[in-house]
C-alpha cells in the first residue's frame, strides 16, 4: 500500500513538473543548463594575435589635446591599453591657429605652432597620428556653416588650389620635422562623416569626392609612400561609390575608413534628447564591418585596408551605456565578432574630455570616454586593459566569447566574458535604462581547463570587471549621483574599483599539465585569467 501510494505521488509530481516545464520554458532551461566550459590546449597555436583592437583610439578635437588633463589621460591610456594611434577632429579649425589668410604678396600665412605642440607630445609618449584633415579654416571656407560650440566650419573650400597648397605645406612641414620614415607609418584621412548632409559637410557626395582627390594628391605629392584614405562616413556608407570614384578618376587611395555605432536610430544626438536604443541585433557593429569587407573584396581594389575610425555602443556623448558595466563585455563581444575583417577599430573615445556639445557639468554624464573627468576608469577601460595583457600568440579556441593566448615566456592568458543584451528593446531608451543600478542575473559557473601546460609553479591572478567589480558608475550611483564629486568621493570610487585580483596565489601544475579553475558567472561579467611561470 505504501509503495503504491509512493508511485502515485511520484507520477503526480512528474506530471506537475512537466506542466511547469511546458508553461515556463525558461525555468526548465535553467534547471537543465550546465556550466559553461572553456577547454584550451596551450600547445595548439592558431597564429599571431590580431591586435586591431588597440591599433587606434579616438578623441574629440585637436585643441583639447593641448590641455594637461587630456595629455595625462592619453599617456595613461596608452600605457595601460597599448593604443598605437590617435584620431581626432578639428586639426585645421581656427582654434588651432593654422591659417591666417595671405600677405600683401598673396602668399599664404600658415602657423603650425599649436599642431607642433600637440604632435610633439604624441612623439614623446610613442603614439602615432591617424590624421583627420578637417575642418575648413574660415579664411578658406566657401560658407559660414559650422558645427559644435567650437565652430568647426563644414563647408567646402572656396579655392581648391589653396586648400591643396595648405595640405601639401602641412605634410611637408611634418616630413621636415619628424622625417619621412615616421610619416610612412601615419595614416591620412580626408574629412569626417561627409554623408551627414549639413551636419559635417554642406556639399554633396560629388563635392566630397573632389575634396578627397585634391587632398590625397597633395599628400602623395610630398611622398608617394604616405597612406591616404576615406571616405570616413557615418553608418558604413559610400564605400563602393568611393572606391569606384578612386579607380575611375585615378585618385590615390590606400585604405577605406568609415564608422558604426550599435544603436537602432539616428546618428548625431549630442545631448541624448532623441533617446538612443541599443540594437538588439546579434551582429550589430560587426555585421556592418563584415559587409564593408565584402564590398571591398568585390571591388576593383580588393586589397585595401579597412579602418573603422569610430565605433562604440552609441553615437551620443549623453548615453549612460558608456558609463555602465555592460560596456566592457559589449566591447569585447563586438571586437571578437569582427575578427580579421578590419585592420583597426578605433573606440570613440579614450576620455570624457570631449566638448562637442559644450563643457559637461557632471562627473558621469554618459560621455564617450574610457576615463571620466576625474581620472576614474570606467568598466570599458578595463576591457581594453585586459585585451592589452594578452600574449602575442593566439591559441586554438572554440569558445566564441573568449581569447586564449600565450607569450614567448610560457605565460598563458585567458580573457573571457558573458555578453547578455539586457536592454528591454523599443519600449525603453538607453537614457532611462542604463542610468540606474542594474543587478545582473546569475549564469551559473564558468569552468576553465588548460591542458598541456609545462609542469611547474605559476602565479595565478584572476581579474574581474562586471557589476560592482571595476564598476565605477554603480559606485557613483551609491553616492547618490552627486552633480560634483569631492576629493574623498573620487578617492572612494577609485579605491573600490582599483582592479585588484579576485584570486592571487601560487599554484603547481603537475606532470599531467592540467590547470582547472571554476568561477561564478553573471550577465556581462568579464574575467582576465593570467598564469605566469615562476
Per DSSP, the residues of 272-301 read: STT---B---TTTTHHHHHHHHHHHHTSS-
Place of cell 503526480: 12
Going 116 to 117 to 120 to 121, the CA torsion angle's sign is negative
Q: Name, in order, each residue with C-beta under 8 angstroms of 132's C-beta and a sequence gap of 6 or more.
A: 87, 88, 89, 91, 189, 191, 192, 232, 309
Q: Whole-angstrom Cα distance, residue 175 to residue 149?
A: 32
pLDDT at position 271 is 59
C-alpha cell at 214: 585634391
pLDDT at position 1 is 36
Q: What average pLDDT does this structure show over 32-53? A: 88
* pLDDT digits 0-9 by tens, 418-447: 999 999 887 888 998 999 999 999 999 999
Q: Whole-angstrom Cα distance, residue 95 to residue 135?
A: 11
Q: What average pLDDT does this structure show over 177-184? A: 98
Taking each helix axis from N to C end, the angle separating 68-81 and 379-388, rounded to the nearest 10 degrees, works out to: 50
Residues known to be catalytic: 193, 310
pLDDT at position 265 is 66
Q: Whole-angstrom Cα distance, residue 206 to residue 16?
A: 69
Going 351 to 356 to 360 to 364, the CA torsion angle's sign is negative
CA-nearest of 155, 207, 158, 171 to 98 is 171
Q: Whole-angstrom Cα distance, residue 166 to residue 140?
A: 10
* DSSP-derived pairing of the beta strands 227-233 and 187-190: parallel
Could you say which DSSP state residue 469 is in?
Answer: B
C-alpha cell at 440: 545582473
Residues in the chain: 534
Place of cell 610630398: 222
Q: What average pLDDT does this structure show over 322-335? A: 98
Q: Whole-angstrom Cα distance, residue 473 to residue 468?
A: 9
CA 530, chain centre distance (Å): 23
User: Are the C-beta atoms of 201 and 191 separated by less than 8 Å?
Assistant: yes
Per cent of the chain over pLDDT 70 is 92
CA-nearest of 440, 434, 379, 390 to 412 is 390
Q: Whole-angstrom Cα distance, residue 523 to residue 510?
A: 33
Q: What average pLDDT does this structure show over 340-351? A: 97
Q: Whole-angstrom Cα distance, residue 124 to residue 86?
A: 14
Q: Whole-angstrom Cα distance, residue 450 to residue 516?
A: 7
* pLDDT digits 0-9 by tens, 64-103: 999 999 999 999 999 999 999 999 999 999 999 999 999 9
Write down the pTM of the prediction: 0.91
pLDDT at position 35 is 81
pLDDT at position 95 is 96
Q: Whole-angstrom Cα distance, residue 335 to residue 329?
A: 10
User: Are the C-beta atoms of 323 and 475 separated by less than 8 Å?
Assistant: no
- Dihedral pair phi/psi, residue 188, rounded to 5°: -120, 115
* pLDDT digits 0-9 by tens, 221-234: 999 999 999 999 99
Could you give the 3-state DSSP secondary structure of residue 7? helix
Exposed/middle/buried for residue 453 (C-beta within 10 Å: 0-12, 13-18, 19+): buried
- Dihedral pair phi/psi, residue 487, rounded to 5°: -60, -45
Amino acid at each position: 500500500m505504501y509503495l503504491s501510494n509512493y508511485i502515485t505521488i511520484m507520477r503526480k509530481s512528474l506530471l506537475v513538473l512537466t506542466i511547469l516545464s511546458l508553461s515556463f520554458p525558461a525555468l526548465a532551461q535553467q534547471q537543465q543548463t550546465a556550466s559553461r566550459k572553456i577547454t584550451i590546449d596551450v600547445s595548439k597555436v592558431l597564429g599571431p594575435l590580431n591586435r586591431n583592437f588597440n591599433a587606434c583610439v579616438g578623441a574629440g578635437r585637436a585643441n583639447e589635446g593641448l590641455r594637461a588633463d587630456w595629455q595625462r589621460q592619453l599617456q595613461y591610456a596608452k600605457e595601460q591599453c597599448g593604443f598605437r594611434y590617435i584620431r581626432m577632429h578639428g586639426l585645421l579649425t581656427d582654434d588651432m591657429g593654422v591659417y591666417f589668410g595671405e600677405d600683401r604678396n598673396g602668399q599664404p600665412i600658415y602657423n603650425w605652432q599649436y599642431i607642433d605642440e600637440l604632435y610633439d607630445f604624441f612623439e614623446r609618449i610613442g603614439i602615432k597620428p591617424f590624421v583627420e584633415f578637417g575642418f575648413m579654416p574660415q579664411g578658406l571656407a566657401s560658407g559660414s556653416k559650422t558645427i559644435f560650440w567650437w565652430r568647426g566650419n563644414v563647408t567646402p573650400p572656396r579655392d581648391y588650389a589653396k586648400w591643396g597648397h595648405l595640405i601639401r605645406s602641412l605634410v611637408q612641414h611634418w616630413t621636415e620635422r619628424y622625417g619621412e620614415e615616421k610619416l610612412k607609418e601615419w595614416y591620412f584621412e580626408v574629412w569626417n562623416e561627409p554623408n551627414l548632409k549639413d551636419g559635417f559637410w554642406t556639399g554633396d557626395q560629388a563635392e566630397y569626392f573632389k575634396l578627397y582627390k585634391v587632398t590625397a594628391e597633395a599628400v602623395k605629392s610630398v611622398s608617394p609612400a604616405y597612406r591616404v584614405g576615406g571616405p570616413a562616413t557615418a553608418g558604413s556608407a559610400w564605400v563602393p561609390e568611393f572606391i569606384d570614384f578612386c579607380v575611375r578618376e585615378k585618385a590615390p587611395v590606400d585604405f577605406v575608413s568609415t564608422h558604426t555605432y550599435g544603436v537602432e536610430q539616428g546618428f548625431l544626438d549630442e545631448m541624448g534628447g532623441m533617446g538612443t536604443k541599443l540594437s538588439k541585433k546579434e551582429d550589430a557593429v560587426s555585421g556592418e564591418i563584415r559587409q564593408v569587407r565584402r564590398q571591398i573584396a568585390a571591388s576593383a581594389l580588393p586589397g585595401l585596408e579597412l579602418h573603422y575610425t569610430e565605433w562604440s555602443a552609441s553615437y551620443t556623448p549623453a548615453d549612460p551605456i558608456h558609463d555602465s558595466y555592460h560596456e566592457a563585455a559589449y566591447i569585447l563581444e563586438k571586437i571578437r565578432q569582427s575578427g580579421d575583417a578590419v585592420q583597426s577599430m578605433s573606440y570613440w573615445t579614450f576620455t570624457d574630455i570631449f566638448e562637442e556639445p559644450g563643457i559637461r557639468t557632471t562627473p558621469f554624464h554618459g560621455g564617450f570616454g574610457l576615463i571620466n573627468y576625474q581620472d576614474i576608469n570606467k568598466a570599458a577601460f578595463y576591457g581594453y586593459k585586459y585585451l592589452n595583457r594578452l600574449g602575442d600568440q593566439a591559441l586554438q579556441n572554440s569558445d566564441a566569447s573568449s581569447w586564449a593566448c600565450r607569450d614567448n615566456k610560457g605565460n598563458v592568458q585567458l580573457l573571457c566574458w558573458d555578453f547578455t543584451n539586457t536592454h528591454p528593446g523599443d519600449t525603453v531608451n538607453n537614457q532611462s535604462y542604463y542610468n540606474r543600478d542594474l543587478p545582473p542575473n546569475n549564469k551559473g559557473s564558468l569552468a576553465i581547463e588548460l591542458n598541456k601546460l609545462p609542469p611547474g609553479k605559476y602565479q595565478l591572478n584572476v581579474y574581474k570587471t562586471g557589476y560592482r567589480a571595476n564598476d565605477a558608475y554603480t559606485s557613483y550611483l551609491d553616492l547618490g549621483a552627486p552633480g560634483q564629486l569631492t576629493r574623498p568621493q573620487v578617492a572612494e570610487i577609485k579605491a573600490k574599483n582599483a582592479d585588484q585580483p579576485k584570486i592571487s596565489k601560487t599554484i603547481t601544475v603537475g606532470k599531467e599539465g592540467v590547470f582547472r579553475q571554476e568561477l561564478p558567472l553573471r550577465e556581462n561579467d568579464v574575467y582576465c585569467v593570467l598564469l605566469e611561470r615562476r
